[in-house]
């Protein structure tokens, strides 16, 4: 099956971990790790929350994160999977974007529900109530000045957190007219 997956199956994400392994997501066959010689498959039978994987990211602690189409997000510590799904953590199981900011927070999309920030203990949701009108988030990025940008179907937004309590932090819509500093 491994040769077949490379040529005839959909691959949405490719990433390289800190040790040089390549990771490939698939649509229906989980994820594959290539160590330079062999492929290892990770699927639901191994603990992955769903076999349709949209995105793979390694965090600063060496954990691998898998955003799935139907099973939320899975974190793999090299031994076991921890799954965060709509049953206990996030509102929708379709997670197509995962990003770690400079403070070690994990940001992820949740189709129809904006983004979530995971601080290592709990999830905080940012959506329309916080000014984020993008319900289908497809891009998350932190610039060198520490500003978080979110984009997708509905425009481009910047996270405003300066001197605000978390309950008041919000997103502002950015267009060619600004807002700019």
**CA 18-20-25 angle, 5° bins:** 90
- At residue 7, the pLDDT reads 45
Q: How far apart are the first and last CA of the chain?
A: 53
Total number of residues shown for the chain: 181
Separation between Cα atoms, residue 109 and residue 14, nearest integer Å = 18
Separation between Cα atoms, residue 145 and residue 70, nearest integer Å = 34
- At residue 21, the pLDDT reads 98
Where do the domains of the chain lie, and which CATH numbers do they carry?
A: 2-96 (2.40.10.500)
- At residue 168, the pLDDT reads 66
- At residue 161, the pLDDT reads 74
Per the CB < 8 A criterion, the answer to whether 111 and 136 are in contact is yes
Query: What pLDDT tens digit does each residue of the chain (181 aa) get?
Result: 445 555 456 778 899 999 999 999 999 999 999 999 999 999 999 999 999 999 999 999 999 999 999 999 999 999 999 999 998 899 999 999 999 999 999 999 989 899 999 999 999 999 998 899 988 899 999 999 999 999 998 899 999 876 555 556 789 999 888 777 6
- At residue 1, the pLDDT reads 46
State the pTM of this model.
Answer: 0.89
Burial class, 161, CB count within 10 angstroms (exposed 0-12 / middle 13-18 / buried 19+)? middle
């Amino acid at each position: 099956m491994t040769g077949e997956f490379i040529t005839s199956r959909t691959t949405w994400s490719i990433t390289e971990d800190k040790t040089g392994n390549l990771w490939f997501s698939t649509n229906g066959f989980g994820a594959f790790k290539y160590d330079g010689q062999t492929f290892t498959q990770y699927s639901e039978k191994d603990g992955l929350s769903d076999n349709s994987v949209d995105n793979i990211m390694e965090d600063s602690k060496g954990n691998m994160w898998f955003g799935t189409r139907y099973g939320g997000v899975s974190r793999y510590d090299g031994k076991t999977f921890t799954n965060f799904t709509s049953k206990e953590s996030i509102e929708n199981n379709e997670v197509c974007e995962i990003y770690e900011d400079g403070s070690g927070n994990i940001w992820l999309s949740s189709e129809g529900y904006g983004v979530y920030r995971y601080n290592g203990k709990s999830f905080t949701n940012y959506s329309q109530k916080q000014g984020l009108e993008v319900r289908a988030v497809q891009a998350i990025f932190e610039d060198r000045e520490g500003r978080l940008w979110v984009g997708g179907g509905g425009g481009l937004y910047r996270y405003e957190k300066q001197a605000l309590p978390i309950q008041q932090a919000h997103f502002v819509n950015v267009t060619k007219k600004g807002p700019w500093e």
